[in-house]
Amino acid sequence: MRSGEAVLIAVIAVAAMSVTMIGFGWVPHLSIILVLCALLALGRCKGLSFRQMQQGMASGVMSGIGAIYLFFFIGLLVSALMMSGAIPTLMYYGLDAISPRFFYVSAFALSSVVGVAIGSSLTTCATVGVAFIGMGAAFDADPAIVAGAVVSGAFFGDKMSPLSDTTAIAASVVGIDLFDHIRNMMYTTVPAWLITVLLLWLLPGHMKSAELADIEMFKTWLMASGLVRGVALLPFAVLLVLAMRKVATIYTIVITITVALFITYLHSNPSIGQLGGWFFKGYAPAEGVDLGDVSKLVTRGGIESMFFTQTIVILALSLGGLLSALGILPALLAGVSHMLTNAARATFSVAATSLGVNVLIGEQYLSLLLAGQTFRPVYERLGLHPRNIARTVEDAGTVINPLVPWGVCGVFISGVLGVPVLHYLPYAFFCYLCLFLTLIFGLTGKTLSKADAAAGGA
């Protein structure tokens, strides 16, 4: 297939997904299936058999089968950390870190802690974020700055948490270990986090002292759940130690779940049937206990909660495999391969693709999957480790979606916080600092891993 034809087909496919997702409000699954059907029809017109195209789609799915399996274990892990009290306890002690004088920094720091603990940026914004917006009104804080701080912290958690679906997708789509991916992201994430703290601290308008009524209410609700206990932090310690020792992700998760179960039975005695229900549908607090807004935070996890992500991953990987089988992706790469001659150009291309998908389609998952699949062969040709792609798609994909007014995350966050995207965008420092840093490292070659030097650690 000629590169010009491939570009035209790719543009039409992206346009179709853009119109259906943004204009009609379709979930990404339906948009991808629509494009898959159109491409299957195109393949038949070009003389390809259905078996050939099916094999291409199956090959695409197999390239990311690790993510599909991993999501089952992540769902189990979230339930285990919730029922043992690990996540509620971490949030309870994190609430004590709030400083009225440095309110913006506190909002960012606590949102970061909660984001890592639960692995969901949107849940963090819808719960802790809403609380900070309310407190900000009492403190006469700028709601745009508060929202920017919350979004920055929430997406730090979304990016760095082993419980996050986007983190698992980015790692699995290029075939690297989850914790290897998280460690590698620290090169851009840690500096971005520290600079964000500095910028928020330098902003004028430190808050006056006031009663932290909302925070105390949150703590009361958390305590009423019966899940707050110091020993419950042990599973997080085990998870951290095993990750630092580079134990395989699945083993790390299974061992952490085992520790969490021990703590669960140490303080309560759920039946085997109840335990199975929590592992499948997610942990839910006992009925009749008033937990207020905290109920949204502690009702999480389970295999069932992963189905949305798993199915979109399967469909997106199928789309990538079909695009390859039809010769569209190879033609696109052939058309630009003469320009992708070094790490700087490859990094810019991956970042631009992730950013472009976010802006054109407003979809976070596709920005990771399409860029990761498309440019992996380029990195192999340049002798660069695929962990570099995973980091770049997170820096230009995961954390950029909340800055797109019509993006899935942007629409949700602006709705729950009551602050328009364009108002909080200038203050979501962490989100665009990650993008700037990954481009700078790509340009200089700093922190980029070579395939031969890092092959053993993947």
pLDDT in the model for residue 455: 43
Vertex 90: Cα angle to 184 and 199 (nearest 5): 55
pLDDT in the model for residue 456: 39
pLDDT in the model for residue 117: 82
pLDDT in the model for residue 12: 92
pLDDT tens per residue, range 379-418: 888 888 989 999 999 999 999 989 988 777 887 888 878 8
pLDDT tens per residue, range 188-206: 999 999 999 999 998 865 4
Tell me the C-alpha distance between 374 and 324, whole Å: 9
Q: Can you list the residues of the chain whose pLDDT is less than 50?
A: 206, 210, 453-458
With b for 16 or more beta-carbon neighbours within 10 A and e for fewer, the 2-27 pattern comes to eeeebeebbeebbebbbebbbeeebe
**Domains of the chain by residue range:** 3-63+308-404+422-457, 66-306
